[in-house]
Amino acid sequence: MRSLLLVASAAIALSGPAAFAQDGHAGHDAHAAHQSADADGTAIAAAVAASTRSPANTARDPYRHPAETLAFFGVKPGDTIVELWPGGGWYTEILAPLTKAGGGTLYVAAPWEKGLNRIKEKQAADAATYGAVKLAEFPGTGAGDKVPDGGADVVLTFRNVHNWRFGGADKTADAFKQIFAMLKPGGTLGVVEHRLPEEMASALEEKSGYMKRSSVVGFAEAAGFKLVGESDINANPKDTHDYEKGVWTLPPNLTEGDKDREKYLAIGESDRMTLKFVKPAS
């Protein structure tokens, strides 16, 4: 489903002062919430503009829409945030200064401990920005520290669900269960994933890097999550989803090298679903 769907929580955040009840006190609360949302947006914009980000990473902003994506997920600078499988730290470069400025806490969690090596390199090179970032193992096996159960306000994962599903043993169901345990009741799981259209063969998920929305939602709901919103912030209608070498054919990987390079650059990065789940409060 490509149309923008926002449920009540997201609608309130977007409607600002218009979201008030007849009771004057409720109206005041809604206005205060709008002011808070504005402040959070300013903080996110400042983190996206941080001078500590690498030029190569900021060049991906037009495709990944970090400010809009984090705002959609309701990320606040004072939150306890968990970023799963950060890779080279593309989003870590934004989340670290955001939480540092806002008094929040950032965990990065990945397979212990090779999956965290590039974040460790950032910490060694720039302790002022990344020194407070906490390292954890995910999925947890007992080899390293885990994110404390019930401690996170927000868990974020960007283009990783296909890796849990098809990166050897299928760890998807267990991964979502562990994420559910990390979050506080009422906490948010934000997922961005390469999108395979529902009408295309499900077998394409296995090697293409794309996943169907129904597959991702199914795993999340089986773990206890409720889908509360989705957005086409990261959609790309130019993506045909049918490349011999999968999603990695497109930028930034460009696995075909110079073959049809300009064609793939013109398409841009992959078509992505942006899904917001919550852990029910009770």
Domain segments of the chain as ranges: 5-278
What does the pLDDT look like over 74-133, one tens digit per residue?
999 999 999 999 999 999 999 999 999 999 999 999 999 999 999 999 999 999 999 999
Mention the CATH class of domain 5-278: alpha beta
pTM of the model: 0.88
Instruction: Give me the pLDDT at residue 25, please.
Output: 41
| % of residues, the chain, pLDDT over 70 | 87
Q: Residues, the chain, total?
A: 282
> With 90 as the cut, is the pLDDT of residue 12 above it?
no
Per-residue confidence (pLDDT) for residue 282, from 0 to 100: 78
80 close to 153: Cβ distance less than 8 angstroms: yes
Two tokens, residue 240: 């045909």
Q: Give the mean pLDDT of 52-77.
A: 98
Q: How far is CA 42 from CA 48, 59, 68, 77, in A?
A: 10, 21, 12, 10
